[in-house]
Amino acid sequence: MTEKIFADAINEAIAEEMRRDPNVFIMGEDIRLSIYGATKNLYKEFGEERVLDTPLSENGFFGAAIGASLVGMRPIVETVTSFMWVAMDQLISQAAKMRYMFGGQATLPVVYRASMAYGSGSAAHHSDRNYPMFMNMPGIKIAVPATSADAKGLLKTAVRDDDPVIIFEDTNLMGTRGDVTDDEIPFGKAVIIKEGSDCTIVGIAGSVKLALDAANNLEKEGISCEVINPRTLVPLDKQSILSSVEKTGRLVIADPAHKVCSAASEISSIVAEEGFWFLQSPIIKVASEQVHIPYAQSLEKLVYPNVDKISTAVKKTME
Amino acid sequence: MTEKIFADAINEAIAEEMRRDPNVFIMGEDIRLSIYGATKNLYKEFGEERVLDTPLSENGFFGAAIGASLVGMRPIVETVTSFMWVAMDQLISQAAKMRYMFGGQATLPVVYRASMAYGSGSAAHHSDRNYPMFMNMPGIKIAVPATSADAKGLLKTAVRDDDPVIIFEDTNLMGTRGDVTDDEIPFGKAVIIKEGSDCTIVGIAGSVKLALDAANNLEKEGISCEVINPRTLVPLDKQSILSSVEKTGRLVIADPAHKVCSAASEISSIVAEEGFWFLQSPIIKVASEQVHIPYAQSLEKLVYPNVDKISTAVKKTME
Amino acid sequence: MEITKEIQRLMLERMWTIRNFEEKVIEVHEAGEFVGPAHPYIGEEAVAVGVCLALKDSDYIAGNHRSHGHPLAKGGSIKKAMAEIYGRVDGYCKGKGGSMHLADFSVGILGESGIVGSSVPVATGAGLASKMRKKDFVSVVFFGDGASNQGACHESMNLASIWKLPVIFVCENNQYAITNSYENSVAVDNVSDRAVAYNMPGILVDGQNVEAMYEATAEAVKRARNGEGPTLIEGLTYRFEEHSLGLGKIRRGEYRDKAEIDKWRERDPLDIHTKKLIERGILSESDCKKIENDSKVEIEEAVNFARNSEFPGPEDLFEGMWANPIPKP
Amino acid sequence: MEITKEIQRLMLERMWTIRNFEEKVIEVHEAGEFVGPAHPYIGEEAVAVGVCLALKDSDYIAGNHRSHGHPLAKGGSIKKAMAEIYGRVDGYCKGKGGSMHLADFSVGILGESGIVGSSVPVATGAGLASKMRKKDFVSVVFFGDGASNQGACHESMNLASIWKLPVIFVCENNQYAITNSYENSVAVDNVSDRAVAYNMPGILVDGQNVEAMYEATAEAVKRARNGEGPTLIEGLTYRFEEHSLGLGKIRRGEYRDKAEIDKWRERDPLDIHTKKLIERGILSESDCKKIENDSKVEIEEAVNFARNSEFPGPEDLFEGMWANPIPKP
Ligand SMILES: Cc1ncc(C[n+]2csc(CCOP(=O)(O)OP(=O)(O)O)c2C)c(N)n1
Ligand SMILES: Cc1ncc(C[n+]2csc(CCOP(=O)(O)OP(=O)(O)O)c2C)c(N)n1
Ligand SMILES: [Mg+2]
Ligand SMILES: [Mg+2]
C-alpha cells in the first residue's frame, strides 16, 4: 500500500500493464509529453512504437484501436469525453456492437480513458460527463473510478478484460491522494465506503467524495448515511445498492451527469422496481442541472452536485 | 379530419410547411425518389433547390443544416437513427450546445427526422432507438409521434419551433392509419388516449399502440388502465403522468429503447421522486432487452416490448 | 505480371460462386425465405475476386453492406454465408448478423459493416497491428464511391499514410450510392485522384477485369509487405441489379438510364474473363460451363444447408454479447 | 491587386488590436483575473486580419479554439470580447461561452468552436443558405493544420464543391497541433494540396504577410460571389506563444526547437507590415507607434470594462438555453 495521486495511479497502471504484456500499447493526442498528466515517462520507457501520438482524427484512431484489438493488440486510448462525439460511430457501431453482430467471433480488448474535465471554466464544449449515453447502449463496460485505488485497479482490470471498456476519469480527482495496491479491482463490485443506517447515498466518480463529506457532516447532526461507490456502471452492482436500501429505507444518488436519463435515473428506476418495498420515502437524484456548462465560475458552480445539495436531499428523505 | 397513413401524414406536413414558408427546405439521402417513403412528390413540387439529395456525409450535411438555420433557413433533415452516430459531433457540439454557449445569440430552427427501423431483420447496425441519449444532453427537443395525427402535427410544430428538434419516427408505424388535422400539436402536452383507474401505462412511439392493446385486453379481465402518450420527451409533460399515477397508484412504462438509462428509466425516476406517495406498488419498465438487435426473427421478436410483456407487468403491479 | 493458370481458373470459379450465390439469394428472398435487407454484388464480382486472390489467408479484409462478394471471394464458407442470411444457428454469426454483417474470422474476414464507411478505420487498425507486431499480413478494406465521402475514409487514409501501414483501400466505384450518382456526390473525377491528398499511390482500374484488379492488388500488397505503406485502388464497376432486395421493385430505372445499364451489362466480368480463358486455351467452353454448373450445385447445397439449420432460440439471445460476461441488468 | 491605403493602415491597426489584446490576456491570466483556458493568436495576426479585411460586414466567419483573433479581425467589439473572457454579463455570450466560444452575431461572427474541426460544417451551411437565398454573402471558416485531419473538413469541402457554395476554407497552418508537428500528422506536403481532391483551388500563402492573405482572400471572395464555388487557402504561419495559457509553463520548448521559434519570431507579421508602410511612405514611424499605443489604450479600456462588468447570477443560469423555452425538467 502506497499513497499516490490519482493521475500517478493511472500512470502506474499503464506502465505496469505495458511491462507485463507486449501487446499493450497506448495512443492518443499529445501523450508523449503527457499534457493531460497521466502518461508521464511512458514515451521514455516504451518508445515510439508503443506510445503513439495521433493526429486529430478521433474517429480514425479510435477505430484503428478497435481494428488492432481484433487482431491481437490491447490498445489503451487516451481522450477527453468531449472529443468522443466526433468518434461516436466507431465507439457505437464498432466497439459496442461488433462482437454480438458477428456472433461472438470478434474479441475487442480495447480501453478508452476519457477524462471528464468539468468544473474549471472549460465551458460547454469541454465539460461532458456522458457515461449515461454509453450505459444506454449495450456492449461497452464502463468504469467510474472515485479514488486513486480505483484509478489503478480498474484500469488494470480494463486492460485485461477482453471486452471494450471506457474509463471515465474525473479530472477533479486528478490531484487527490489515496492508497493504491498492485491488485486488479473486479468490475461489478460496488464498495461501501461508509456504513450507515438512515439513508443510502450512491455517488458516482467525483461525487463519491462529495457524498462522503455530506455523510460526515450529517453524522454530526445525528443522521447516519451509508455511502456506496459503484466503481463500474456496466456492470452495475445493483445488489449492493438494493441491500443497502433494504437496510436504510432511503436513497439519494449523487451523479455529476446531466440529470435526465442519467446514471442516477437508472439506479432510481432499478430501486423503484426491485427495491420498492424497502423504501420509506422518495428517491432523490442530485445530478447536474439540465443546462449546458456555463463558462463563468459564478454559474458553473451552480450546476453540479455538491455537499450542500446532497445533505439537503438526505434531510428531505428523512422528513 | 381525414384519415392518412403515418408516412403520408409526414409527407403532408413537409409539403404544407414548404408551401407556407420559402425558407423551409429538405435535405437527406435519396429523398428525391423517396426511398424511405415520406418524401414522395416533394422534388416534383419544389424542385432541386429545395429538395437536396446529399452525399453520404452525415456529419457534413447535418452541420450544414445547422449553419443554414443560423442564417435564416429552416432545414428539415431526413435520416435514420443509426446514421446519427457518424454525425454526433454536429448534433451535440453544435445543434444542442450552440445557442447557450453563445449566450442566446444563435437561433437554430433545424429539424432532424430520424427513422427508427427496428423489428424487421435489419440487425444491430440499423435498428437504433437512441432518443434516451439525446434526452441526457440538453438543447434538443425530442418528439416521438405515435399516430398519424402526431406525425403531422408534431412535425409542423417542429418546423415552426426556433430550437433544434429531432423527431424519432417509428417505422413500425409507417403503414398505420389515423385521422389527421391541419393543426400543429404543441410540444410538452401528453395525451391520455384511454382513461383508467388501476394502473397508468406510459407508452413511447410504437409502444403506445402496444400499451393500448394491452389495456384493451386487460379491461376484459377487469383491470382498468390509463394509457398516456407523451408525444414529446423533451419537453416531457411530467405533470400529466404524475396526475395519472396519483389517480391509479401504479405505473408501467413501455419503451422500445434499451432499458438502461432509457426514457422509461427517466420517467420512473421522476415518479419515484415526485410521485412516490401516490405509488401503491413498484414501477415497472417494459423496455428492450440490454442486448444488440439480432438479425434472426426468432431472436429479434424477444427483444422489444410487446402486448404480453406489458400486460404481465400491469398484472404484477396489481399483485 | 504473370498470373498462374491455377489462379486464372480460380478467378472464374470464385466469380461464379458469387454470381450464383447472389442469383439464389434474390430467388429465395422473392420466395420469402428470409426477412431483412440484402445487397446483390452482381456485376461487381471481378473487384472482390481480383483483390482477394492476390491475398494470403493470413491477410485481413473488411467490407460494407454490399457484403456477400467479399467473404466469398476470400474463401469464406459458402454454407455458413447462406445460413447466416437465413438467420440460422449455423451461419457465420449464428444468425445474429445477417446479410449485412457476414464475417468469418477464421479466414481473415473481419466483417462487413452496415454503416457506410465505418469499417475503414477498423481495417486501418488491423494494419497498425501488423506493423506493431512485425507481422507481414496486410489489411484490405472495401468501400463504395458513396462511402468515399465519409470523414472516416479521410481520417483513415491519412493515418495509414503517416504511419506507413500495410493497408489497401479498395473503392468499389459502381457510380451510385443508392439513387444518387457519382457526379452529384463526389467532387473529383476519380476517387483514386484523392490519393495525392494522402501521399499514397492512387490506381484507377477497370473493375470488370478481374486480372487487372488482381495485378493492381498484387502490386499494392508488395508495397505493403515491404513497409512502403498504403495504396488506394479504385475499381470502376457497376451494379447490374438494384441497390437492395425489396427496393428493386420500387425504384428500378428511375435514376439510371436503361441504355447505361445495358452498356454495362455488356461488360459482364464473368464473360470477359471466360472469353480470355478460352482464347488462351486454358479452359475449353465446356470446362467453363462445368465450373458454372458445379458452382450452382454448391450453391444449392448451401441453400439446403441453410434451410435445414435451426433458428436460434431464446437461450441464444444473450450469447455473444460479452467476452467476459456480466450479469444481465 | 491594389490595396487601398486605408486598408493597409487598417491592417496594422487590427493586428495591433489582436497583439495587444493577447498580451493583455496573458498578463491578466497570470494575475489570476480569470479562470479557464485561452489560446493566444500572437504571431498569426496576419492571417485573420488579411482574410477578414477582404470581407464585408454581411459576410460570415466561424472559427476554432484559437479564438480571439478572428472576431477582433472581423470588427467585433473589443470590450465585449474581453468581458466574455472575464466571464461577465457584458461579454459577447453573457459569460456563458468564455475564451473558446467568442461569437458576435451582430457582425457576422457565427462563433468559435472548442471542438476542433466542428465549425467547418456549420460555416459550409451558412454558404448553402447564401446560395439558396440568392444572397451574395460568403462564409469563411478558420481551422488549423491539426483540424485538417478531421473528417468534418473532408465532408464539408466535398459538399461545398459539389454544390458550388460561396465558402472559403482558411487553414491556419502553424505547423503544430499542441505538441504534435505537422510532419507527424499530415500526410501531404501542404494542406492546400488537398484542394485537388475536391476540385477547388488550393492556395498556399505566406501567413506572415497580411497583404498576401488579403489578396488571396479577395480573389476567393470574387470567385465565391460569382457562383464559382469554394476555395481552400492555407496561411503558413507560426504561433509565437505556447498552445494555451497554463500549458505554457509546463511544455515550453520541449517539442519545438528554440532555433525554429527564433527564426519565426523574426518574421513577425506586424514588423513586416509596418516596414512596408513606412517604406511606401504611407505611414511614418511615429504614426505606426501611435497606432500601437492607441491600441494599448483601447485594450486597457476593454479590461476596465470587463473588470467592472457583473458576474452572471443564479437567475441567469437557464437564460439562453431555448429560443422557445420549455419547463425545467
Ligand atoms: C452512415 C450511413 N449512411 C447511410 C446509409 C444508408 N445506405 C446504405 S448503402 C448506401 C449507399 C452506399 O453507396 P456506396 O458506398 O457507393 O456503396 P454501394 O451501395 O454503391 O455498393 C446508403 C446511403 C448507411 N448504411 N450508413
Ligand atoms: C475533436 C477535438 N480533439 C482534440 C481537441 C484538443 N485540442 C484542442 S486544440 C488542439 C490542437 C489543434 O491544432 P490545430 O488545429 O493545428 O490548431 P492550433 O491550436 O495549432 O491553432 C487539440 C488537440 C479538441 N479540442 N477537439
Ligand atoms: Mg456505389
Ligand atoms: Mg496548428
Q: Which residue(s) pair with C112 in the sheet?
A: C63
> Which ligand 1 atom sits closest to the C-alpha of B86?
1
Domain for residue B226, yes or no? yes
More confident residue, A36 or B18: B18
- Whether pLDDT at A33 is above 90: yes
- Whether pLDDT at C288 is above 80: yes
Whether A137 and A218 map to the same domain: the answer is no
Number of domains in chain C: 1
Whether A155 and A235 map to the same domain: the answer is no
Residue D149 in contact with partner chain A when CB distance is under 8 A: yes
**The cell 428525391 sits on which residue?**
B32
Whether A203 and A97 map to the same domain: the answer is no
Using only the alpha carbons of chain C, give its radius of gyration.
19
C144 lines ligand 1 (CB under 6 A): yes
Whether B125 and B247 map to the same domain: the answer is no
- Whether pLDDT at D253 is above 70: no
What SS3 state is found at C141?
A: strand
Which tens digit of pLDDT belongs to each residue from C155-212?
Answer: 999 999 999 999 999 999 999 999 999 999 999 999 999 999 999 999 999 999 999 9
Task: Using most ligand atoms within 8 A of CB, pick from D41, D65, D238 the residue to mutate for ligand 2.
Answer: D65
Using the mean position of ligand 3's atoms as its centre, give its distance from the Cα of residue C238 in Å: 8
- Whether pLDDT at C282 is above 90: yes
Report which secondary-structure segment, H or E, holds A26. strand A24-28
Give the Cα separation of C262 and B235 in Å (integer). 54
Give the Cα separation of C283 and B41 in Å (integer). 53
Q: What angle do CA D315, D317, D320 make, to 5 degrees?
A: 105
Comparing A160-164, A179-183, C214-218, the range with the smallest average pLDDT is: A179-183
- Whole-model pTM: value is 0.98
Nearest CA to ligand 1 atom 11: C177
Residue C246's pLDDT band, with cuts at 50, 70 and 90, is confident
- Whether pLDDT at C310 is above 90: yes
Whether A97 and A128 map to the same domain: the answer is yes
Residue D250's pLDDT band, with cuts at 50, 70 and 90, is low
Q: Which residue(s) pair with B112 in the sheet?
A: B77, B166
Residue D171: its pLDDT value, please?
Answer: 98
What sign for the dihedral angle of Cα D215, D220, D225, D227?
positive
Percentage with pLDDT > 90 across chain B: 99
Q: How far is CA D74 from CA C69, C322, D68, in A?
A: 54, 53, 10
Mean pLDDT of the region C221-234: 98
C121 lines ligand 1 (CB under 6 A): no
Mean pLDDT of the region A8-14: 98
Q: In sequence order, what are the residues at sequence separation of 6 or more whose Cβ sits closer than 8 angstroms to the Cβ of residue C27? A: none
> Which ligand 2 atom sits closest to the C-alpha of D118?
1
- Whether pLDDT at A134 is above 70: yes
D200 closest CA partner among D173, D178, D223: D223
- Domain containing C178: what range? 5-299
Task: Using most ligand atoms within 8 A of CB, pick from C41, C116, C241 the residue to mutate for ligand 1.
Answer: C116
Report the CATH number that the domain containing residue D45 is assigned in CATH: 3.40.50.970
D101 lines ligand 2 (CB under 6 A): no
Whether B173 and B225 map to the same domain: the answer is no
Nearest CA to ligand 2 atom 7: D116
Which tens digit of pLDDT belongs to each residue from C289-300?
Answer: 999 999 999 999
Q: Verify whether the Cβ–Cβ distance D150 to A57 is below 8 Å.
A: yes
Partners of chain D (3+ Cβ pairs below 8 A):
A, B, C
Q: Which residues of C touch A236 (CB under 8 A)?
A: 329
First to last CA, chain B: 42
Domain for residue D259, yes or no? yes
Taking the CA of residue C193 and the nearest CA in chain D, the distance in Å comes to 6
Task: Characterise D169 by phi-psi region: left (phi > 0), alpha (psi -120 to 50), beta (else).
Answer: beta
Using the mean position of ligand 3's atoms as its centre, give its distance from the Cα of residue C172 in Å: 7
Q: Which residues of C touch A103 (CB under 8 A)?
A: 91-97, 103, 320
Whether A126 and A167 map to the same domain: the answer is yes
Residue B238's pLDDT band, with cuts at 50, 70 and 90, is very high
A104 C-beta neighbours (distance < 10 Å), count: 17
What SS3 state is found at B240?
A: helix
Whether A55 and A78 map to the same domain: the answer is yes
Whether A142 and A29 map to the same domain: the answer is yes
Q: Verify whether the Cβ–Cβ distance A67 to C124 is below 8 Å.
A: yes
* Cis peptide bond N-terminal to B235, omega within 30: yes
Report which secondary-structure segment, H or E, holds C1. none
Residue D251's pLDDT band, with cuts at 50, 70 and 90, is low
> Which ligand 2 atom sits closest to the C-alpha of A56?
3
Question: Who among A82, A260, A303 is closest to D115 (CB)?
Answer: A82
Q: Verify whether the Cβ–Cβ distance A260 to B285 is below 8 Å.
A: no
Which tens digit of pLDDT belongs to each residue from D139-198?
Answer: 999 999 999 999 999 999 999 999 999 999 999 999 999 999 999 999 999 999 999 999
Number of domains in chain A: 2
B292 is annotated as an active-site residue = no
Say how far residue B89 (Cα) sits from the centre of its chain.
Answer: 21
Mean pLDDT of the region D209-229: 98
Domain for residue D280, yes or no? yes
Domain for residue D178, yes or no? yes
Residue C250: its pLDDT value, please?
Answer: 60
B94 closest CA partner among B123, B63, B71, B116: B63
What sign for the dihedral angle of Cα B259, B262, B265, B268?
negative
Percentage with pLDDT > 70 across chain D: 98
Among A136, A153, A180, the domain-final residue is: A180
- Whether pLDDT at D252 is above 60: no
Domain for residue C326, yes or no? no
Residue C247's pLDDT band, with cuts at 50, 70 and 90, is confident
**What is the grid cell recorded at B290?**
440490454
Using the mean position of ligand 2's atoms as its centre, give its distance from the Cα of residue A56 in Å: 7
C69 lines ligand 1 (CB under 6 A): no
Query: What b-and-e string marks burial along D107-121, b requiring 16 or more CB atoms within 10 Å of the CB?
Result: bbbbbbbbbbbbbbb
Q: Which residues of D touch A298 (CB under 8 A)?
A: 87, 95, 311-313
Residue D247: its pLDDT value, please?
Answer: 72
Whether B121 and C312 have beta carbons less than 8 Å apart is answered as no
Q: Which residues of C touch B297 (CB under 8 A)?
A: 35, 87, 311
- Domain containing A85: what range? 2-180
A97 closest CA partner among D304, D246, B130: B130
- Whether pLDDT at B155 is above 70: yes
Partners of chain B (3+ Cβ pairs below 8 A):
A, C, D
Among A133, A158, A180, the domain-final residue is: A180
What sign for the dihedral angle of Cα C261, C266, C272, C278?
positive
Residue D248's pLDDT band, with cuts at 50, 70 and 90, is low
Report the CATH number that the domain containing residue A153 is assigned in CATH: 3.40.50.970
Whether A229 and A150 have beta carbons less than 8 Å apart is answered as yes
Mean pLDDT across chain B = 97
Complex ipTM > 0.95: yes
Residue C249's pLDDT band, with cuts at 50, 70 and 90, is low
B128 lines ligand 1 (CB under 6 A): no
Using the mean position of ligand 1's atoms as its centre, give its distance from the Cα of residue C238 in Å: 15
C180 lines ligand 1 (CB under 6 A): no
Residue C248: its pLDDT value, please?
Answer: 60
Whether D193 and C196 have beta carbons less than 8 Å apart is answered as yes
Q: Verify whether the Cβ–Cβ distance A56 to D147 is below 8 Å.
A: yes
Residue A114: its pLDDT value, please?
Answer: 98
Mean pLDDT of the region D323-328: 94
Q: Which residue(s) pair with D140 in the sheet?
A: D61, D168
Residue D265's pLDDT band, with cuts at 50, 70 and 90, is very high
Whether A163 and A212 map to the same domain: the answer is no
Domain for residue C327, yes or no? no
- Whether pLDDT at B311 is above 60: yes
- List phi, psi (to 5°) of C144: -95, 175
Domain for residue C315, yes or no? no
Among A145, A180, A215, the domain-final residue is: A180
- Taking one residue from A and the other from B, the number of pairs with CB-CB distance under 8 angstroms is 157
Helix and strand numbers, DSSP H then E, in chain C: 12, 8
Residue C251: its pLDDT value, please?
Answer: 59
- Whether pLDDT at A284 is above 90: yes
Domain for residue C328, yes or no? no
Whether A143 and A229 map to the same domain: the answer is no
Question: Who among B88, B123, B285 is closest to A273 (CB)?
Answer: B285
Beta strands A51-53; A24-28: pairing state = parallel
Report the CATH number that the domain containing residue A243 is assigned in CATH: 3.40.50.920
Ligand nearest to the CA of C143: 1
Question: Who among D151, D157, D196 is closest to C150 (CB)?
Answer: D151
Residue D36's pLDDT band, with cuts at 50, 70 and 90, is confident
Which tens digit of pLDDT belongs to each residue from B108-120?
Answer: 999 999 999 999 9
Domain for residue D324, yes or no? no
Report which secondary-structure segment, H or E, holds A171. none
**What is the grid cell recorded at D240?**
509565437
> Which ligand 1 atom sits closest to the C-alpha of C115?
26
- Whether pLDDT at A202 is above 60: yes
Q: In sequence order, what are the residues at sequence separation of 6 or more whose Cβ sits closer than 8 angstroms to the Cβ of residue B311? A: B214, B217, B218
Give the Cα separation of D17 and D178 in Å (integer). 24
Domain for residue B185, yes or no? no
Whether B115 and B234 map to the same domain: the answer is no
